[in-house]
Structure 1
Amino acid sequence: MTPYARRGVHGQTVEALARRILGGEIPEGATLDLVALQSELDVSLTALRESLKVLAAKGMVDARQKRGTFVRARGDWNLLDADVLRWQFEGGRTTEADRALLRNLAEVRAIIEPAAVRLAAARRTPDDLAALDDAIRAMGEDDSDAGHAVAADLAFHRALLKATHNELLERMEMVIESGLAHRDRIVHSSPHSENPVPAHRAVLDAVREQDPDAAETAMRALLDQAGRDLERIDGDDETEGPGPQ
């Protein structure tokens, strides 16, 4: 999916507004001053209204007679939308809301991925194994490059979902990928994270052997490792105290 910021003025306006809402700069319940926003963002009123329609479709804003356009409560936001997830984690920050969402993501992964990998073990094809092999190979190539490590990890989990040959499970990539990418950037930028290759290789070996039980066990071990990495980094942050905001 192409980020909205690459879609011209309209897309940049959507992302600017979304980041302000998700970051709390424009709080829940706030009524938007469209004239002030139009001037501040230097866009036409038409472009601004079209951008707000995008956010309305994602449950973030609404409009009412006599009240105007306002930010809806977070409980109304479509947090499963890939754009909303990506916007939540943008900007290089890790807020308490981000951490809560990462914890929620870990719980979702613990439900989905062990079951998905059982299907992958039963249904994988030679092409699926090749894609998983490529991801493992890339994961071990340059562990000093956080961006490379993130891309390789995403490729691995994307290939696993694809190997289920279940169209709906494949689409779960859209739900977890943005949050997983943010988690990976945090973890792979830390010198204290565990080497991810052995845990991923254990999953691949079980899938290759078409052993669903072993695949599920290996996936749960991988997810446990991911949790330990994040907890360790959270502990380091608390020890060091708050950094620059």
Structure 2
Amino acid sequence: MATLLDVTTTPAPDRNYRRDGVHGRLVHELGRRVIDGRYPIGDALPTETALVDQLGSGRSAIREAVKVLTAKGLVKARTKVGTVVQPESCWHLLDPDVLAWRYQNDPSDKQLEDLGGVRVAFEPEAARLAAGATDRGGIAAIQREYLLMEQTIDDPDEFIGHDLAFHAAIVHTGGNQLLEQLSALMSAAFAAARQVHTRNVRRNKRTLAGHRAVLDAIVGRRVDEAAELMRVLVTGAQHDIRRDLRSRPRGDAHARA
């Protein structure tokens, strides 16, 4: 399946913590536990002894993993209290691991709403830049991913991959390296959001016309039109997510605030 990074030349910042080895696995396991609420905000983490028993690892590895979480803003040592889980406002939300932990496993309504706001804020400008770009070398990638979206419309997983790559190709074509790195950094979050609203084949078929309109405006160098059409497209996706969240049964784990 295509991914957002398949069509970008600027890689995501290389700050993801390694996943191999005992230490890497501990960092990711403890990070997920903090973010999914198994270790609630304001509570102290279990003691080193308890974590050793729970996770089957040595004290030194536990201690080093907690240091990594502290650097990411998830926890903080407090005298006579222990290592306390910090409020979400203290987390380094653009840290690649924190992004992945938040969005790959049961993102909350608020987290999805925040992500939708980010897309509305920067994707129309990315489309504007792509339409006005002097270097037209990236247009072929946008066209290719659109055609692959058409071809995989009945396969949600494949469609999601090409949808992500379509938007990434637009960012890349615009030539703004900061936007490109932001897009690459947010790729895990964008993919998770697509799983909420892009698994409906009928809805995906309806969105194809909007994607095609954005593509045509970019190819035609209609900068204002490209930006407005992209704004409509991503705002529509945000509304789809809101409708899906409202329709979830009360008490669904995904509907947590």
* Identity fraction in percent: 34
Are the counterparts in 1 of residues 109 and 245 from structure 2 also a CA contact under 8 Å? no
Residue 29 (structure 1) aligns with:
42
Secondary structure at 2:221 match in 1: coil
Secondary structure at 1:193 match in 2: helix
Secondary structure at 1:62 match in 2: strand
AA partner of residue 86 (structure 2)? R
| Superimposed CA distance per residue, residues 12-67 of structure 1 (whole angstroms, 9 cap, x where no aligned partner) | 21111111111111011222212111221111222212222221121111224433
Are the counterparts in 1 of residues 150 and 208 from structure 2 also a CA contact under 8 Å? yes
1:188 equivalenced with 2:198 (yes/no):
yes
AA partner of residue 220 (structure 2)? E
Are the counterparts in 2 of residues 139 and 153 from structure 1 also a CA contact under 8 Å? yes
Unaligned runs of at least 5 residues, structure 2 = 1-11
1:75 equivalenced with 2:89 (yes/no):
yes
1:18 equivalenced with 2:27 (yes/no):
no
Residue 161 (structure 1) aligns with:
171
Residue 100 (structure 2) aligns with:
86
Are the counterparts in 1 of residues 132 and 223 from structure 2 also a CA contact under 8 Å? yes
Secondary structure at 2:152 match in 1: coil
For 1:66 and 1:140, locate their aligned partners in 2 and report how far apart those are by CA, in whole Å. Answer: 60
Aligned CA distance change for structure 1 residues 124 and 230 (closer, same or farther; 3 Å): farther
Are the counterparts in 2 of residues 123 and 163 from structure 1 also a CA contact under 8 Å? yes
Q: CA deviation at 1:85?
A: 1.6
For 2:198 and 2:110, locate their aligned partners in 1 and report how far apart those are by CA, in whole Å. Answer: 19
Residue 106 (structure 1) aligns with:
116
Are the counterparts in 1 of residues 43 and 84 from structure 2 also a CA contact under 8 Å? yes
Aligned CA distance change for structure 1 residues 243 and 55 (closer, same or farther; 3 Å): closer
1:227 equivalenced with 2:241 (yes/no):
no
Q: CA deviation at 1:242?
A: 4.6
Are the counterparts in 2 of residues 13 and 48 from structure 1 also a CA contact under 8 Å? yes
For 1:244 and 1:102, locate their aligned partners in 2 and report how far apart those are by CA, in whole Å. Answer: 14
Q: CA deviation at 1:192?
A: 5.3
Residue 236 (structure 1) aligns with:
247
RMSD of aligned Cα (Å): 2.3
Are the counterparts in 2 of residues 190 and 233 from structure 1 also a CA contact under 8 Å? no
Q: CA deviation at 1:5?
A: 7.2
Q: CA deviation at 1:226?
A: 0.7
Aligned CA distance change for structure 1 residues 7 and 165 (closer, same or farther; 3 Å): same
Q: Which has the higher contact order (CA 8 A, sep 6+)?
A: 2
TM-score by length of 1: 0.87
| Superimposed CA distance per residue, residues 68-123 of structure 1 (whole angstroms, 9 cap, x where no aligned partner) | 322112210011222212111233x35xxx21111111112111111222112111
AA partner of residue 53 (structure 1)? K
Aligned CA distance change for structure 1 residues 171 and 28 (closer, same or farther; 3 Å): same
Are the counterparts in 1 of residues 153 and 201 from structure 2 also a CA contact under 8 Å? no
Residue 9 (structure 2) aligns with:
none
For 1:36 and 1:130, locate their aligned partners in 2 and report how far apart those are by CA, in whole Å. Answer: 55
Are the counterparts in 2 of residues 61 and 70 from structure 1 also a CA contact under 8 Å? yes
Residue 5 (structure 2) aligns with:
none
TM-score by length of 2: 0.83
Are the counterparts in 2 of residues 114 and 219 from structure 1 also a CA contact under 8 Å? yes
Aligned length: 239
Are the counterparts in 1 of residues 156 and 201 from structure 2 also a CA contact under 8 Å? no
Are the counterparts in 2 of residues 55 and 61 from structure 1 also a CA contact under 8 Å? yes
Secondary structure at 1:24 match in 2: coil
Residue 60 (structure 2) aligns with:
46
1:134 equivalenced with 2:144 (yes/no):
yes
Secondary structure at 1:144 match in 2: coil
Q: CA deviation at 1:175?
A: 4.6
